[in-house]
């Protein structure tokens, strides 16, 4: 096996090992960054929902409250507006999910599903938990879920959620007197569950990886080309030439011209030593002849 082939094989092996190791590391870091971005996105969605909630109780409820004595308007309910705004948001982002899930909800559509129930129970058991992050397989693919506790912090909430006799009669007429009551101050009654698809994060990490592998391969090919050219002109050609001369000289052809490599590198010094050795050999032969 020639020097060039050996050299290239070793370089290629080093490249492949290095590429595999750095790809694994790069994908991990890239995926983690994409997850962090998803998490930040969820934080923004949650802030948006909380803002809609606050807007409803500060701006809408005072305007429409009186009407609720006649007919209950769900539009004055923060949870109703937050979930409906999100519903419209989903027209453009159908893979996103927002729910104010409760164990004992006023509106049956807010009833926690079994996995939401389990999360709510964990949040109830440990009130220091600010959020729970979970990955879930759904029919739409893998989802990144974050659940935030819904805890009763204001007495005002209990006006509608403590007992049916305290709640507006129009509300009881609409929602019944069975569910959505019995909530207590500082009790975690449910969770704000927000989910975003993970496929986008995976795809992004994968696209970044493809770009990195492409760029590294290109750099490697350019390096390989440069190294091969240099190896050829600076090492292989002079060595092959000297080896051919040595071959001819060893067969008794002393008419071969001297091979001179200019410069002060190892090959130039080898060619000088080689030529000196040839001259010594020539004079030794001449001395023998006489
Ligand atoms: C005027 C009465 C009223 C007040 C005050 C009120 N809610 Fe509600 N709440 C409702 C009604 C009615 C629903 C059901 C809305 C719907 O149809 O989506 C509801 C729904 C909810 C839900 C969704 C789960 C469920 O029960 O369907 C949560 C969570 C919630 N409220 C929390 C609160 C909190 C926290 C406060 C205090 C900041 C509060 N509510 C104040 C009437 C009220």
pLDDT digits (tens, 9 = 90+) for 150-179: 999 888 888 889 999 888 888 888 888 888
- Give the mean model confidence (pLDDT) for residues 20-46: 92
pLDDT digits (tens, 9 = 90+) for 121-157: 999 999 889 999 999 888 878 889 999 999 998 888 8
Number of domains in the chain: 2
Residue nearest atom 20 of ligand 1, based on CA coordinates: 79
Co-location of 192 and 211 in the same domain = no
Which residues are within 8 A (CB) of 165 and not within 5 positions of it... i.e. 6 or more apart? Answer: none
Q: Which of 172, 197, 222 is the last residue of a domain?
A: 197
Q: Is residue 3 part of a domain?
A: no
Q: Please tell me the distance between residue 74's alpha carbon and the centre of ligand 1 in angstroms.
A: 9
Q: Contact, 86 vs 98, CB < 8 A?
A: yes
Q: 191 CB less than 6 Å from ligand 1?
A: no
CA distance 146 to 131: 6
Co-location of 243 and 159 in the same domain = no
What HEC string does the chain produce? CCHHHHHHHHHHHHHHHHHHHHHHHHHHHHHHHHHHHHHHHHHHHHHHHHHHHHHHHHHHHHHHCHHHHCCCCHHHCHHHHHHHHHHHHCCCCCCCEEEEEECCCCCHHHECCHHHHHHHHHHHHCCCCCCEEEEEEECCEEEEEEEEEEECCCHHHHHHHCCCCCCCHHHHHHHCCCCCCCCCCCCEEEEEEEEEECHHHHHHHHHHHHHHHHHHHHHHHHHHHHHHHHHHHHHHHHHHHHHHHHHHHHCCCCCCCCCCCCCCCHHHHHHHHHHHHHHHHHHHHHHHHC
Co-location of 48 and 191 in the same domain = yes
Q: How confident is the model at residue 95 (pLDDT cuts 50, 70, 90)?
A: confident
Q: Please tell me the distance between residue 72's alpha carbon and the centre of ligand 1 in angstroms.
A: 13
Q: Contact, 254 vs 282, CB < 8 A?
A: yes
Residue with tokens 């002393």: 254
Q: How do strand 188-197 and strand 97-102 relate by DSSP bridges?
A: antiparallel
Q: Please tell me the distance between residue 202's alpha carbon and the centre of ligand 1 in angstroms.
A: 37
Q: Contact, 129 vs 149, CB < 8 A?
A: yes
Q: Is residue 4 part of a domain?
A: no
Positive or negative, the CA dihedral 6, 7, 8, 12 is positive
Write the CATH number for 212. Answer: 1.10.8.500
Q: What is the reported pTM?
A: 0.77
Co-location of 85 and 110 in the same domain = yes
| pLDDT at position 52 | 95
| pLDDT at position 68 | 66
Residue with tokens 């002079």: 238
Quick one: which atom of ligand 1 is closest to the CA of 180? Answer: 26
Q: Which of 170, 197, 224 is the last residue of a domain?
A: 197
Q: Is residue 58 part of a domain?
A: yes
Q: Is residue 5 part of a domain?
A: no
Q: Is residue 1 part of a domain?
A: no
Domain assignment of residue 269, given as a range: 207-289
Residue 266 φ then ψ, to 5°: -60, -40
Q: Is residue 157 part of a domain?
A: yes
Q: Contact, 104 vs 158, CB < 8 A?
A: no
CA distance 280 to 285: 8
Residue nearest atom 39 of ligand 1, based on CA coordinates: 157
Return the best residue to mutate from 161, 168, 191 for the ligand 1 pocket (most ligand atoms within 8 A of CB). Answer: 161
Top pLDDT among 127 and 221 is at 221
Minimum mean pLDDT range among 30-44, 55-69, 208-222, 232-246 = 55-69
Co-location of 169 and 211 in the same domain = no
Q: Is residue 166 part of a domain?
A: yes
| Residues in the chain, overall count | 290
Which of 10-14, 200-204, 254-258, 274-278 is the most confident on average?
10-14
Residue with tokens 């807010």: 110
Q: How confident is the model at residue 10 (pLDDT cuts 50, 70, 90)?
A: very high
Closest by CA to 78, choosing from 156, 147, 186, is 156
Closest by CA to 90, choosing from 49, 31, 60, is 49
Co-location of 190 and 214 in the same domain = no
Region at 2 (left for phi over 0; alpha for psi -120 to 50; beta for the rest): beta
Co-location of 157 and 83 in the same domain = yes
| pLDDT at position 51 | 95
| pLDDT at position 26 | 93
Q: Which of 165, 197, 229 is the last residue of a domain?
A: 197
Top pLDDT among 65 and 260 is at 260
Co-location of 191 and 217 in the same domain = no
Q: Is residue 266 part of a domain?
A: yes
């Amino acid at each position: 096996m020639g020097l060039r082939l050996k050299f290239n094989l070793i370089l290629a092996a080093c490249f492949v090992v290095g590429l595999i190791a750095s790809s694994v590391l790069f994908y991990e870091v890239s995926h983690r960054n994409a997850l962090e971005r998803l998490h930040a996105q969820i934080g923004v969605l949650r802030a948006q929902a909380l803002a809609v909630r606050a807007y409803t109780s500060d701006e809408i409820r005072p305007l429409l409250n009186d009407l609720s004595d006649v007919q209950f308007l769900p539009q004055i309910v923060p949870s109703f507006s937050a979930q409906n705004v999100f519903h419209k948001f989903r027209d453009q982002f159908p893979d996103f999910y927002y729910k104010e899930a409760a164990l004992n909800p006023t509106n049956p559509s807010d009833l926690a599903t079994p996995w939401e129930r389990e999360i709510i129970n964990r949040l109830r058991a440990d009130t220091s938990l600010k959020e729970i992050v979970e990955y879930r397989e759904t029919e739409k693919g893998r989802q990144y879920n974050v659940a935030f506790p819904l805890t009763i912090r204001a007495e005002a909430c209990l006006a509608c959620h403590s007992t049916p006799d305290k709640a507006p009669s129009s509300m009881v007429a609409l929602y019944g007197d069975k569910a959505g009551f019995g909530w207590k101050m500082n009790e975690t009654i449910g969770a704000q569950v927000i989910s975003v698809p993970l496929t986008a994060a995976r795809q992004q990490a994968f696209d970044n990886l493809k770009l990195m592998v492409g760029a590294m391969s290109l750099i490697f090919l350019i390096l390989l080309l440069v190294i091969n050219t240099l190896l050829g002109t600076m090492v292989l050609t002079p060595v092959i030439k000297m080896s051919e001369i040595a071959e001819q000289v060893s067969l008794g052809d002393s008419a071969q011209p001297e091979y001179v490599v200019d410069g002060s590198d190892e090959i130039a010094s080898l060619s000088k030593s080689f030529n000196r050795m040839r001259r010594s050999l020539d004079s030794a032969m001449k001395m023998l002849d006489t």
